[in-house]
């Protein structure tokens, strides 16, 4: 059985042999220097065990590992006892392995011991435990010393013997307890709990061994969770001051900070700027779940701060686990307010600063020269992207421009920004990607001017209400609220789509069927989900047929009236704190509670179109339709009093009639379409009976 162990493995000094020393090998060389000292201690212990061993001449001893085989290994081990005379001098009892070693700047084990507060005994135990993972020659020797050739890792008893510490020492045994630094910090695993304590195997995690050898590849368990830290982008004066204050805190030593963010990404952006100002690196990790130990160990090994940009639904266990590491800086961010029940020791709780005025300077820095071909400020003002999303949007805009084969335009930036502002609103709303513009609206100057003012308010609300301090206070938000009132078909929904298109935002139409619930309190919960998500999303929210939700409160005559009034009261309070853009439409303005009207920024009345506007609507509808000559749209506008939606339906009907026969739209087709709209409305048709 001795043969398999007799061959000498390449010695640790073979690292880099035959080539000039490389700086990248420095950590490995520092670790191997420590192992050379450990070899001397192992040699001494083997000599001591061999003296007086009653089984030394037993032929069965070879089934495990013969003394001759062990001596052969010691002789053939390269530089086994460099600086060691075999007498045990320099490795006497009471001195930990490696105490003789003077750590150099590349000695990562010494640096780790300093950061983690490890004792000399801790360092020695780690070195003893990892030796077989670095040099195979330690395996058979450990097997011999364990009196079991199959147990080729260090055991608790062997480690204490090699350190010259009595195995009965309570203080020494306590260093291997689960709550002691080695195990608690994930630096050492004491395996086989079913065995007696002294015969339990010691294992150093592969990630620690790799780190000590100079490998900085993150732990495999974290690869799918780690995210790159975003590059800090230019910000306003208040945000910059906040970043410098936070940087000063981080420079002073390990800290735990919780940033409550208004919008997703604001906290990560603030942390990125603060870490850059403090000259530190961050280890950004999605919710680590069961890998907290690996995450904290990685932070200790690399000397980086742990950054968690979003917490799980139940954050208590995660916050407690991270806060229990006083030697690691932990930076947390989440939209929820901090709950003291999450952790017995509270972190520093702050509000994350948000971007204002669209972050034009940040966009310009992200786009570089690509921002020179269009009005950047007007394009990006509606967007409030935080964290790395702004930089990703800039990259996406360049990719879209390259796909189109031209320079970056405002359309590319808007499209990329909308993709980065992905929303969770779809569960209760229907998304519309606007494909219209101001040219598609046929309205009098009054309503048209109010719509343009609505878009203007949406663009500059942060400047007026924030920078110029014109907010009413009382926790009121910076939302923009508008009511569109008018008969069916007068252009209310189309106008909402045009406003969204002008702002470069998606339009989300609230599905009232998925919001209103017969159970008490459920409607409010559904609305809260919508408002909360809309606050965090760059989008326009449309409550079509808003009477069902924003209707007048009534006198309480029964339980139904009471709960209906509670819904209205909730909406009144929620609109006060709303930060997004919401539009309401109604066919009858009088159905909307007056308390809602007071909270609206604009009320736009959509009149029924007169003959001139109807003519413009007919011509607009026929603009892209192949039509026969001689169509008198003026007669249609004069004879048929139809709203814009009905005129469009009439044109669609005429287009289908023409397509069915493979020809152009004629005056008769349009006349038939107009008549059908009259019949659908239950009105008498001109030229037919009764007219």
Q: What is the CATH number of the domain that holds 331?
A: 3.40.50
Instruction: Taking residues 121-130, report their average pLDDT.
Output: 96
Give the domain extent around 647: 611-680
Claim to verify: residue 109 and residue 167 sit in the same structural domain: yes
**With DSSP H G I counted as helix, E B as strand and the rest as coil, what are the percentages for the chain, rounded to 5?**
50, 10, 40
Please indicate, yes or no, whether residues 229 and 172 belong to a single structural domain of this protein: no
Q: Which of 334, 351, 368 is a domain's end point?
A: 351
Does residue 315 share a domain with residue 270? yes
Q: In the beta sheet, which residues pair with residue 689?
A: none
> What are 524-574's pLDDT values in tens digits?
888 888 998 888 888 999 999 888 788 766 555 555 555 666 777 888 888
Same domain, 598 and 626: no
- Band of pLDDT at residue 24, cut at 50, 70 and 90: low
CATH code: domain of residue 623: 1.10.8.60
* pLDDT tens figures, 579-625: 899 999 999 888 888 888 888 999 999 999 999 999 999 999 999 99
Give the separation between CA 39 and CA 131, rounded to whole angstroms: 9
Residues 347 and 402 in one domain: no
Is the pLDDT confidence value at 414 over 50?
Answer: yes
Q: Is there a single domain that holds both residue 462 and residue 592?
A: yes
356-370, 440-454, 587-601, 658-672: which has the minimum mean pLDDT? 356-370
- Close Cβ partners of 229 (under 8 Å, ≥ 6 residues apart): 268, 271, 272, 275, 281, 282, 284, 307
Are 104 and 13 in the same domain? yes
The last residue of a domain, from among 157, 182, 212? 212
Measuring CA to CA, how many Å separate 533 from each of 268, 336, 429? 19, 13, 11
Q: 108 and 235: one domain?
A: no
Out of 606, 635, 652, pick the residue that ends a domain.
Answer: 606
Please indicate, yes or no, whether residues 170 and 41 belong to a single structural domain of this protein.
yes
Task: State pLDDT tens for residues 362-372.
Answer: 899 899 999 99
pLDDT tens sequence across 155-202: 999 999 999 999 999 999 999 999 999 999 999 999 999 999 999 999
Same domain, yes or no: 37 and 148: yes
Main-chain dihedrals φ then ψ at residue 23, nearest 5 degrees: -60, -30
Residue 510 is encoded by which pair of tokens? 């609230």
Q: Of all residues in the chain, what percent carry a pLDDT higher than 70? A: 84
Distance CA 529, CA 515 (A): 10
- The residues near 538 (Cβ < 8 Å, ≥ 6 apart) are 382, 383, 384, 385, 417, 418, 421, 505
Both 630 and 552 in one domain: the answer is no
Question: Residue 52 contacts by C-beta under 8 Å, 6 or more apart in sequence?
Answer: none
Number of domains in the chain: 5
pLDDT band at 82; cut points 50, 70, 90: very low
Burial (0-12, 13-18, 19+ Cβ within 10 Å), 208 = buried
Residues 69 and 53 in one domain: yes
User: Tokens in use for 227?
Assistant: 């995210």
Alpha helices in 537-579 (DSSP H): 547-550, 559-576
């Amino acid at each position: 059985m001795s043969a398999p162990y007799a061959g000498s493995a390449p010695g640790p000094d073979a690292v880099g042999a035959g080539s000039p020393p490389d700086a990248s090998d420095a950590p490995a060389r520092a670790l191997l220097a420590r192992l050379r000292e450990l070899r001397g201690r192992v040699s001494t212990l083997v000599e001591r065990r061999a003296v007086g061993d009653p089984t030394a001449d037993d032929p069965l001893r070879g089934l495990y590992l013969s003394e001759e085989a062990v001596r052969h290994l010691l002789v053939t081990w390269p530089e086994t006892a460099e600086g060691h005379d075999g007498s045990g001098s320099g490795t006497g009892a009471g001195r930990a392995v490696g105490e003789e070693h003077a750590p150099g700047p590349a000695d990562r084990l010494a640096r780790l011991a300093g950061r983690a507060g490890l004792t000399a005994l801790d360092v020695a135990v780690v070195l003893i435990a990892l030796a077989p993972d670095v040099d195979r020659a330690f395996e058979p020797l450990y097997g011999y010393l364990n009196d079991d050739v199959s147990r080729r890792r260090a055991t608790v008893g062997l480690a204490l013997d090699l350190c010259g510490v009595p195995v009965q020492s309570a203080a020494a045994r306590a260093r291997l307890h689960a709550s002691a630094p080695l195990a608690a910090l994930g630096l050492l695993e004491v395996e086989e709990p079913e065995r007696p304590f002294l015969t339990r195997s010691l294992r150093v995690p592969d990630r620690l061994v790799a780190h000590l050898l100079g490998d900085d590849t993150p732990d495999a368990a974290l690869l799918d969770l780690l995210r790159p830290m975003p590059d800090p982008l230019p910000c306003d004066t208040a945000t910059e001051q906040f970043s410098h204050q936070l940087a000063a805190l981080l420079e002073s030593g390990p800290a735990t900070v919780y940033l409550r963010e208004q919008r997703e990404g604001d906290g990560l952006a603030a942390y990125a700027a603060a870490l850059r100002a403090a000259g530190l690196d961050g280890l950004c990790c999605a919710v680590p779940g069961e890998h907290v130990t690996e995450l904290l160990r990685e932070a200790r090994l690399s000397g980086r701060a742990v950054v968690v940009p979003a917490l799980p639904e139940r954050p208590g266990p995660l916050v407690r686990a991270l806060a229990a590491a006083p030697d690691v800086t932990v930076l947390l961010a989440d939209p929820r307010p901090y709950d003291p029940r999450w952790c017995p020791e509270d972190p520093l709780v702050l509000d994350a600063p948000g971007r204002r005025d669209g972050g034009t300077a940040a966009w310009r820095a992200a786009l570089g020269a690509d921002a020179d071909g269009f009005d950047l400020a007007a394009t990006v003002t509606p967007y409030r992207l935080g964290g790395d999303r702004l930089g990703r949007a800039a990259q996406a805009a360049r990719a879209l421009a390259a796909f189109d084969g031209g320079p970056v335009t405002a359309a590319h930036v808007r499209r990329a920004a909308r993709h980065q502002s992905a929303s969770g609103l779809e569960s209760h709303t229907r998304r519309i990607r606007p494909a219209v513009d101001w040219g598609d609206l046929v309205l009098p100057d009054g309503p048209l001017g109010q719509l343009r003012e609505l878009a203007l308010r949406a663009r500059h609300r942060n400047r007026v209400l924030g920078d110029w301090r014109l907010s009413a206070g009382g926790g009121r938000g910076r939302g923009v609220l508008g009511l569109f009132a008018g008969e069916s078909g007068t252009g209310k929904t189309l106008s909402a789509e045009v406003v969204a298109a002008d702002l470069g935002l998606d339009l989300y139409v609230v599905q009232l069927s998925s919001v209103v619930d017969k159970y008490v309190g459920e409607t409010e919960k559904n609305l809260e989900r919508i408002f909360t998500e809309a606050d965090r999303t760059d989008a326009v929210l449309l409550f079509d047929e808003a009477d069902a939700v924003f209707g007048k409160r009534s006198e309480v005559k029964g339980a139904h009236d009471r709960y209906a009034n509670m819904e209205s009261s909730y909406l009144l309070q929620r609109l006060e704190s709303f930060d997004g853009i919401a539009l309401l439409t109604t066919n009858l303005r009088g159905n909307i509670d007056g308390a809602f009207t007071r909270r609206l920024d604009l009320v736009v009345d959509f009149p029924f179109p007169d003959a001139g506007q109807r003519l413009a609507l007919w011509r607009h509808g026929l603009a892209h339709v192949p039509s026969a000559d001689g169509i008198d749209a003026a007669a249609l506008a004069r004879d048929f009093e139809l709203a814009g939606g009905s005129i469009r339906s009439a044109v669609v009907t005429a287009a289908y009639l023409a397509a069915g026969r493979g020809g152009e739209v004629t005056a008769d087709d349009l006349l038939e379409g107009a008549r059908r709209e009259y019949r659908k409305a239950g009105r008498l048709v001109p030229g037919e009976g009764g007219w």
